[in-house]
Structure 1
């Protein structure tokens, strides 16, 4: 199976990658830097991570990476990101396309694929407005309710899951000086999460609380000295949150930070309903931290009071955090159970086997 995997990088991560892989590197050098940093590795298929000759990986919205490939392969000047991606697929002689950025490359892109491509799949674990993904052979995701919403739009949708990155074992530490870590987004679109984060931030006076938040340009402006003179109140985070907020972290830097944390706090996005199992759950447990997350329907191996702790609301979240920190020697066993269970269940080999089964069924 000649499989081609395309990733989409966030603006914040692109800035990090530019620092790690400065301009002037070859396509392979920049891609290898990206792979070594492990950003999004939970979604990367086993052959891609193993460097299998039949597997190809790129990041279609990374202008530097794609521009370098275009120059190295004689693609005409001014080619669009879509044109370059199509050229890569044709050059690779792709049989199976797996796209992690389908909103940027929707059905109109699929209809332009060269004839060598036999099967097309994409990952989309979120509602996406009017995005048309019906031309894909299957939309993959791990939230059943969101998969149902794709089916209602006429797509074939199949359950699929992230898998533990094997290098996470390098970051499991005994000494964990950070009491609570949260890494992710904070916005008015995540109302339940925002309320919880605000309550937990109040513990910063007595506990080591670390928030690494990815904020928008408007939020950064709103919280600047000039921004306070402008009508940007709705973009400002509560002062108690902004006071402890640090820049976002990614890849190995994120793994290292989780490895130094007792608790990783998680909160589902509002649109996920009762479905749970976002990437942070896998990252937290994979690096040996105690996952404290909101109650709901979790993937296999993520069980409240056995491999993680769950909370119902802001009050019970604070109670679970205080319980864990105050009795860490006892609660630590739950974190250890979590690490063992996800490492047994959510393996790269199992993920690849399931992917192959889905492809065979299309």
Structure 2
């Protein structure tokens, strides 16, 4: 059976990658794709790779990387490329030429039912992932299945027309740890992520932590991708640094004695975002918001440390900055749990089971 995963990347990341490696755009399609995937951006969602070991003829398509898609067209349909094919046209041709049994769209808001209806042959299963805001006009009537770790997203998926919605979450790929394991900690606190209006509670925590770091003399860095509509306090300018992507982001997580995390506001009191696994997977010490379901993933105070308020976060941060042995032991246990129970391979096995019972 055939499995095709459609991924999209932040344009800022792909633009930076190609600017850093000018020769990349001139490589054949498969070589470009391999270079990009090995850089690890969004690697917790690379299900198309381990699905091959589960008996699937599996491929990954990066739908919105122009240089890569142009290389595919040059090798597979040069006449259409010369005529000015759009990104949507290229993706449609890729899907139709592969004819997958399962189409898994990781950005199910960018590619909704309107796109699926344009395919010459509909795959047996059209599935998607969503764990973020769902616009009110989203149409998932052509989707057989939407996966999410957030119950609110699963409920909305059904309201927007999906036939089914099921619990699922990403997994940590072992190659990432191997690539960054030599990075040592030289900062007290680190945060890598986004600053958006949808993360209001986290934004407040970032501000409080920066003020505490200033008064305590902690070494702190924020590597933020700032949404254009997000308003940031000028008080954070001294700790603001450029966003980190791919393996650079994973290395940066290891630079912090403490890497902290808070969920998007719409999570509604549920844990399970990618940073839980990104941080623990590379062996960094994680402090994250306490939610009722956190023990589904990690054991608090043994594999990670949780906090219920900004004040508790600051108190525990001060403690663990000073207690290296305890902090490192917790990080080690968290890493072992992540790399076994939450590995990309184990999550792909779960995805395989979810799909096969519907075929």
Q: What TM-score, normalized to structure 1?
A: 0.89
Match of 1:41 in 2: 43
Displacement of 1:329 in angstroms is 1.6
Give the conservation status (yes or no) of the 8 Å contact 2:51–2:348. Answer: no
Match of 2:209 in 1: 200
Match of 1:64 in 2: 67
Displacement of 1:20 in angstroms is 4.3
1:26 is the counterpart of 2:28: yes
1:135 is the counterpart of 2:130: no
Tell me which of 72, 76, 87 is aligned to 1:73.
76
Give 5+ residue unaligned stretches, structure 2.
none
Give the conservation status (yes or no) of the 8 Å contact 2:189–2:219. Answer: yes
Q: What TM-score, normalized to structure 2?
A: 0.90
Tell me which of 123, 129, 135 is aligned to 2:129.
123
Displacement of 1:196 in angstroms is 0.4
User: What SS does the corresponding residue of 1:31 show, helix, strand or coil?
Assistant: helix
1:86-235 map, 5 Å? 86-115=92-121, 117-129=123-135, 130-155=137-162, 156-170=164-178, 171-173=180-182, 175-205=184-214, 206-217=217-228
Displacement of 1:104 in angstroms is 1.4
Give 5+ residue unaligned stretches, structure 1.
219-234
Give the conservation status (yes or no) of the 8 Å contact 1:48–1:57. Answer: no
| 1:32-66 deviations in Å (ceiling 9; x for gaps) | 11111011111111636869992211111112211
Displacement of 1:174 in angstroms is 8.1
The 1:40/1:338 distance shift into structure 2, 3 A limit, reads same
Q: After the TM superposition, list the runs of 4 or more consecutive aligned residues in structure 1 that deviate by more than 6 angstroms.
A: 49-53
Give the conservation status (yes or no) of the 8 Å contact 1:173–1:288. Answer: no
1:289-308 map, 5 Å? 289-296=284-291, 297-298=293-294, 300-308=296-304
Alpha-carbon distance in 1 for matches of 2:104, 2:85: 22
User: What SS does the corresponding residue of 2:49 show, helix, strand or coil?
Assistant: helix
| 1:257-279 deviations in Å (ceiling 9; x for gaps) | 12222211111111111111111
Match of 1:228 in 2: none
User: Which piece of structure 1 moves more, 70-79 or 135-144?
Assistant: 70-79
Question: How well do the aligned residues superpose, as a CA RMSD in angstroms?
Answer: 2.1
Alpha-carbon distance in 2 for matches of 1:138, 1:301: 23
Alpha-carbon distance in 2 for matches of 1:48, 1:8: 19
The 1:119/1:49 distance shift into structure 2, 3 A limit, reads closer
